Each structure stands twice: as C-alpha cells, then as structure tokens.
Structure 1
Amino acid sequence: MKLSTPRYTFCLLSQLTFMFCDLIFNCISLFPKSRDGLLVLFIFQDLFLVLSITIMLITFFSTYLFQAGLVEVLVRKFRAAGAVVVAYVLASVALHAVWLLEKWADPRAVSTPLLIVLFTLQRCLSPWYYFWYKRAALRVADPRLYEDVDWISSQPPPR
C-alpha cells in the first residue's frame, strides 16, 4: 500500500499540529496555579505526544520496507529520531508525575531539586525532540520508502 499524497499530507499536518501543541503546553505549563489546571494540561500534552507517536508509527507501517519485512533498514534510518522521541516522552511523563505529586501534596510547595532537574532535562530535550521528530516526519515522505528499488539491496546486511 503506497502512502498517498492526501493521506501523507493529513499525517504530516497532524504531526506538526501535535508538535506545535506540545510547544504551547510547554510554554503555558508554568501559569496554572491550580492542581486541576495542571492535571488537565499535562493530560492533554501526554495525549498529544502519544497521538503524534501513533501517527508516526502508522506512516512507518505503510512503507514498503516495513511491509516487505525490511524493518532493520527502517530502524537504521530512524534510530536517532526514535531515541530522542522516547527520551523526550519519558522525561515529560516523569516531569508531569513528579510535578503533580508535589503540587497535590502542597499547592504552595517550593520546587524540589528533583523537579528542577526533571524540568531542565525535559526543556533541554524539547528542541531536540522537535527537530528530530519533524525531520523523521519529512524523511518518511521519501518515495523510495514506498517502492521496491535497487537501493534496498545495496544496504548493509543486518547484524
């Protein structure tokens, strides 16, 4: 099954929308004063992260490489993006969990060192996530990934 232009356009626009929402949520996460506001914000941010990863996986699954069982080649091409995305998602979920646990216990509590470290880690990973995720979303549009061509046979064999 070839990834059609309208379908790819929809996937790409969805991915960019979810990425932009994540950026907005990162910007406004410092403003909610109530625990409930933070909870709703973090739920939506994590939901958009899961949806963006799901859409990326759908585009990977529709490639010829995946359908022909050449997953190793696909993994090699997108290994860095996958590692950064996983690190960012884990850092975001850890930050959200610690932040909510601290705010739930005492809404006026001062940030702990763990929260500061997680916040810094997540915010430092976010530009890398945006770069690698967008790059992977654009690279998966390569028409060579959707057809049987000679470049696949020239790839090094799996280890």
Structure 2
Amino acid sequence: MKLSTPRYTFCLFFQLIFIFCDLIFNCVSLFPKSRDGLLVLFIFQDLFLVLSITTMLMTFFSTYLFQAGLVEVLVRKFRAAGSVCAAYIVASVTLHAVWLLEKWADPESVSTPMLIFLFTLQRCLSPWYYFFYKRAALRVSDPRFYEDIDWINQQLQTH
C-alpha cells in the first residue's frame, strides 16, 4: 500500500522547497556587501531552516508510532538525520551571528580565522544536511510508520 495523502505530498513539497531555498541562500550570501543585505538574507535563511525542521517534526508527529507513544523507534530510525540537522542549524546560526557582528563592527573588515572556520564548517555540513533531511523526509512516508503493527512489534523486539 502506497501512502499518497495530499497532506504528506504538501509537506514533502515544502520540505524540498526549503532545502532549495537554503541552497540558494548559501550561494547568494557571498554577494551582498551591505550589512543590511546580509542581515535580511540571514534572517530569511534561518527562518527557512526553522520552517523546514517544523515541517519535518509535523510529519513525525503524524505517524502512528508517535501517536502511540513509540517515540524511541522514530528516534532510532532518524537519529542520524536529527543529529546532522541540529549540527547544521547550529553551524548556520553561529556563522550568521559572527559574520554580522564582524560586519557591524567594521563594514570593510577582512575575514578573521574564526569566520573562515565557521564558513567552511557550515558549507561542509550543508550537503550532509541536504542529504539526510531529504532522506528522512522520504523515509517517513513509509506506510509502515502509519499502520503496520507487525513491523512495529518487530522493531520493538529487536531493541
């Protein structure tokens, strides 16, 4: 049985849009020279990150596993995705804060080693974030998370 509810399709569509927007923001963030341009760009990027995580959590909350109180199975299945998403969000927000603080103090400043490190870390985490987030969004559509009691019992017995 294939899960193809309009609500899930709607959530998946927006999850993919949020990933695409984050990718675009990462590409465009090198171009604004003004502090105000960077501030607006970073606010929107962080907003889309929060919206993407909220949408992912909504899909988790709608599963039978979550509603039945079997959260540990969901945590076990999506631990890697959760860890990578959390690390990426922390790296992004930290990068944005440090970058803006440096630009606000001196608009003509040259990048510091800390900013270069944070920039590199955030850019290296981004492909992992995109991969794990998309993978989790597609995996949570598995009908077993919504109805297959035998599969759920098997998951609980193996751990």
Scaled by the length of structure 1, the TM-score of the pair is 0.95
Q: How many residues align?
A: 157
Mark the runs of 5 or more structure 1 residues left unpaired by the alignment: none
CA shift, 1:5, in A, is 1.3
Deviation (angstroms), 1:151:
1.3
Q: Which residue of 2 aligns with 1:96?
A: 96
One-letter code of the match for 2:147?
A: E
Aligned to 2:122: 122
Q: Residue type of the partner of 1:147?
A: E
Deviation at 1:102, TM superposition (A): 0.1
Which is further off, 130-139 or 142-151?
142-151
Tell me how far apart the structure 1 counterparts of residues 66 and 50 of structure 2 sit (CA, whole Å). Answer: 21
Distance of 1:134 and 1:107 partners within structure 2: 37
What's 1:5 paired with?
A: 5
Distance 2:74 2:134 in 1: 16
Q: List 4+ stretches of structure 1 deviating above 3 A.
A: 156-159
Per the alignment, residue 50 of structure 2 pairs with: 50
Q: For residue 37 of structure 1, what is the aligned residue in structure 2?
A: 37
Determine if contact 1:72/1:158 at 8 Å carries over to the other structure.
Answer: no
Aligned residue for 2:153? 153
Structure 2 spans left out of the alignment, 5+ residues: none
SS at match of 2:102: helix
1:31 Cα offset (Å): 0.2
Q: Does 1:143 align with 2:143?
A: yes
Distance 2:87 2:158 in 1: 25
Structure 1, residues 25-71: CA drift from partner, whole Å, max 9, x if none? 00000000100000000000000000000000000000000000000
> Which residue identity lines up with residue 93 of structure 1 in the other structure?
V
In structure 2, C-alpha distance between the alignment counterparts of 1:132 and 1:39, rounded to whole Å: 27
Partner of residue 113, structure 1: 113
Q: CA RMSD in A?
A: 1.4
Structure 1 residue 156, shift from structure 2 partner: 4.4
Distance in 1 between the 2:148 and 2:123 partners?
Answer: 40
Q: What are the superposed Cα offsets for residues 84-114 of structure 1, whole Å, 9 maximum, x if unpaired?
A: 0000000000000000000000000000000
